[in-house]
A and B are shown apart, each in its own frame.
Chain A
Amino acid sequence: SQTIHQWPATLVQPVGSPLSLECTVEGTSNPNLYWYRQAAGRGLQLLFYSVGIGQISSEVPQNLSASRPQDRQFILSSKKLLLSDSGFYLCAWSPGGVEKLFFGSGTQLSVL
């Protein structure tokens, strides 16, 4: 069966420090991969999605970037964190098309 792993679960970082959040999927190949951010425990904002290795689409211009170095690995990065980057970050995968998304357990990022 397919599983999605996302880590770390919580992260506290100072303003101006770099960020790297990793997400991996097991049990499937060529998944669509997604990064969402949830602010203040409410609405989810799609940040990036990827349909294949090296193919990244950015939905919102911001201080973050994403990379997909391997088929089932999706990384969210920042060179210098801002206070406004704080939030709950969720990775997800889908088989593509109109199928449902499967979400990871999330990373709570606090930038101080």
Chain B
Amino acid sequence: AQSVAQPEDQVNVAEGNPLTVKCTYSVSGNPYLFWYVQYPNRGLQFLLKYITGDNLVKGSYGFEAEFNKSQTSFHLKKPSALVSDSALYFCALNQGGKLIFGQGTELSVKP
């Protein structure tokens, strides 16, 4: 079965430090991967996607993600975290037009 996993329930970083939110996937065939962010009591907002091409994908709000086929990973990164980046982050896999989400990682950025 195709799936995505986010191994960390929570990630804590200091403002100004780089951040990484991890995601691994399991698919048969080419993966179509997405990152979304959710602020409290809100819908999800699209950050970026990988369909094909360059392994480093740039997205909204300064985020980027690196697709690594050999490690079956799609980690979300940002060079310098902001307090306003604190939110719930979801990795997702497109399976036949449906998005299958990971369990989410709570990112907390402290001043």
Using CB atoms and an 8 Å cutoff, list the residues of chain A in contact with chain B.
Answer: 6, 32, 34, 36, 41-44, 46, 49, 51, 59, 88, 90, 92, 94, 96-98, 100-106, 108
Once bound together, how far apart are the Cα atoms of A92 and B36, in whole Å? 13
CB-based contact B98/A42 at 8 Å: no
Residue interface bits B37-62, CB-to-A below 8 A is 1, else 0:
00001111110010100000000000
Using CB atoms and an 8 Å cutoff, list the residues of chain B in contact with chain A.
Answer: 32, 34, 36, 41-46, 49, 51, 88, 90, 94, 97-104
In the complex, how many angstroms separate the beta carbon of A56 from the nearest chain B beta carbon? 13
In the complex, how many angstroms separate the beta carbon of A12 from the nearest chain B beta carbon? 15
In the complex, how many angstroms separate the beta carbon of B90 from the nearest chain A beta carbon? 7
Once bound together, how far apart are the Cα atoms of A101 and B34, in whole Å? 10
CB-based contact A98/B51 at 8 Å: yes
In the complex, how many angstroms separate the beta carbon of A6 from the nearest chain B beta carbon? 8
Once bound together, how far apart are the Cα atoms of A36 and B38, in whole Å? 14
A90 is contacted by which of B44, B51, B100 (Cβ under 8 Å)? B44
CB-based contact B90/A44 at 8 Å: yes
Once bound together, how far apart are the Cα atoms of A104 and B42, in whole Å? 8
B46 is contacted by which of A32, A102, A105, A108 (Cβ under 8 Å)? A102
Once bound together, how far apart are the Cα atoms of A51 and B36, in whole Å? 22
Once bound together, how far apart are the Cα atoms of A41 and B104, in whole Å? 9
A43 is contacted by which of B44, B97, B104 (Cβ under 8 Å)? B104
Across the interface, name the chain B residue whose C-beta is closest to A96.
B97
